[in-house]
Structure 1
Amino acid sequence: MSLPKKIKIFIWRAAKNLLPIAANLWKRKILAQPLCQLCGNALKNIFHALVECRSARRIWKVTEAAVELRSIATQDILSVIQDLERRISKADTEMVAAMFWVAWSARNQVLFKGKREDPRILAAKVEAVVEEFKRVKAQTRKDFDEQKEKIPRGWSPPPLDWCKINVDAAINVKNQCAGLGVVIRDARENFVAVAIKVTKFHGEVTHAEVEAVSWGLSIAKHVELPNIIMESDFQETIDLVNSKKSSRTEIQWEITEVQSKMKEFNAVKVQHISRSCNAIAHSLAKTALESGETAIWKGSYPYKIMYLFNSVNE
Structure 2
Amino acid sequence: MWRLATDSLPTKQNIARRKIPIDETCSLCEDQQESGMHVIWLCDQAKAVWKSIPSFSRLYQVDYRSSLDLIEAVVEQGSAFTIAFFSTIAWSIWQRRNKIQVQQPSWPLHEIGKRAKELVVEFFDAHAQPTRSQVHRHNTKWTKPPEDYYKANFDAALFENSNWAGIGVVIRDCNGDVMGALSQKIVLPQSIEHAEALAASRAVRFARELSLSNVMFEGDCLRIINAINTKEPCHNLFGHIIEEIRSYTTPLLTCNFQHVRREGNKLAHALARRVVVSADTDVWVEELPADLDDVFNLDLAE
TM-score after normalising by structure 2 = 0.51
- Say whether the 8 Å CA contact 2:145–2:173 is kept in structure 1: yes
Equivalent in the alignment of 1:242: 229
1:276 and 2:298 aligned:
no
What secondary structure does 1:242 align onto? helix
**Deviation of the 1:215 alpha carbon:** 0.5
- Counterpart Cα distance in 1 of 2:231 and 2:164: 28
Counting only pairs closer than 5 Å after superposition, residues 221-232 of structure 1 correspond to structure 2 as 221-232=208-219
Aligned to 1:157: 144
Unmatched segments (≥5 aa) in structure 2: 1-132
SS at match of 2:181: strand
Structure 1 unaligned spans of 5+ = 1-143
What is the letter of the counterpart of residue 235 of structure 1? L
In structure 2, C-alpha distance between the alignment counterparts of 1:273 and 1:240, rounded to whole Å: 15
Name the counterpart of 1:179: 166
Count of residues in Structure 1 that have an aligned counterpart in Structure 2: 167
- RMSD over aligned Cα atoms: 2.3
- Alpha-carbon distance, 1:306 to partner: 3.0
**Cα displacement (A) at 1:152:** 5.4
1:72-87 matches, within 5 Å, as none
The CA deviation at 1:270 is 0.3
Q: Which residue of 2 aligns with 1:299?
A: 286
User: In 1, Cα distance between the equivalents of 2:140 and 2:154?
Assistant: 19
Q: How many angstroms apart in 2 are the aligned matches of 1:272 and 1:301?
A: 23
- Is the alpha carbon distance of 1:289 and 1:240 closer, same or farther for their aligned partners in structure 2, counting shifts above 3 Å? farther
Matches within 5 A, 1:17-28: none
Larger radius of gyration: 1
DSSP-derived class of the 2:147 partner: coil
State how far apart, in whole Å, the 1-side matches of 2:263 and 2:237 are. Answer: 30
Matched with 2:5 is none
Cα separation, 2, equivalents of 1:249 and 1:161: 35
Structure 2 CA distance for aligned equivalents of residues 282 and 263 of structure 1: 26
Q: Could you tell me whether the CA contact under 8 Å between 1:168 and 1:180 is conserved in 2?
A: yes
Give the whole-Å Cα distance in 2 for the aligned partners of 1:245 and 1:233. Answer: 21
Partners of 2:166 and 2:183 within 8 A in 1: yes
* Aligned partner letter, 1:261: Y
Is the partner of 2:156 in helix, strand or coil?
Answer: strand
Q: Deviations for 1:267-302, whole angstroms, at most 9, x for unmatched residues?
A: 011000111101111111111234343111112333
The code of the aligned residue for 2:269 comes to: H
Match of 1:288 in 2: 275
Corresponding residue for residue 267 of structure 1: 254
CA distance in 1, matches of 2:220, 2:244: 20
Report how far residue 219 of structure 1 moved. 1.0
1:203 aligns with 2:213: no
SS at match of 1:187: coil
State, as a whole percentage, how many aligned pairs show the same letter: 29
Amino acid at match of 2:245: V
- Structure-1-length-normalised TM-score: 0.49
Partners of 2:270 and 2:292 within 8 A in 1 = no
Q: Which amino acid is 1:218 matched to?
A: R
